[in-house]
Amino acid sequence: MRPFGELEAEIMRVMWAGREPLNIHEIVDALHRDGRQSAYTTVMTVTERLRTKGWLERVKQGRSFRYSPLRNADDYSAELMEQALESSTDRESALLRFAGRLDASEAAALRQALADMPADPDTGG
């Protein structure tokens, strides 16, 4: 998986913040409110690319489409982290360095998540 480009990331932030599916006009308006001046056709093209990549779904409503996220921001972050680990020649060392950079609350959350995992995640036991 390739990381999102700048506009892809901004569109996904808008989508993840939304409480309901959005059409292209609503996405453009949200980007403008955030200070990003992007053309309607550019946003439409990038939104469609995100759909073909499996990040968004669209449903026809009237004469336009409404888009909603298929995967959440945590999924995206986890995939980026997994990709970073895959590029390492020593996954364990990379994990330890990452863990060493966590603040106390993040480290506690990670400890809890690890404690809650089954002994063998592949078999559930």
Question: 73-86 and 91-100 helices cross at what angle (nearest 10)?
Answer: 130
Task: Provide the greatest CA pair distance for the chain.
Answer: 53
Same-domain pairing of 65 and 78 = no
Same domain, 51 and 84: no
Which tokens belong to 42?
A: 């550019």
pTM for the complete prediction?
0.79
In the beta sheet, which residues pair with residue 64?
A: 61
Q: Give the helix, strand, coil percentages of the chain, each rounded to 5.
A: 60, 10, 30
Domain that holds residue 84: 73-116
- Residue 58 forms beta bridges with which residues? 67
pLDDT of amino acid 119: 78
Residue 1 — pLDDT band, cuts 50, 70, 90?
confident
Please indicate, yes or no, whether residues 63 and 31 belong to a single structural domain of this protein.
Answer: yes
Residues 58 and 79 occupy one common structural domain: no
- Residue 37 covered by a domain: yes
Asked if residue 82 is part of any domain, the answer here is yes
Is 121 inside any structural domain?
A: no
**pLDDT tens digit sequence for 17-29:** 989 999 999 999 9
Contact indicator for 67, 15 with CB cutoff of 8 Å: yes
Query: Has residue 87 been placed in a domain?
Result: yes
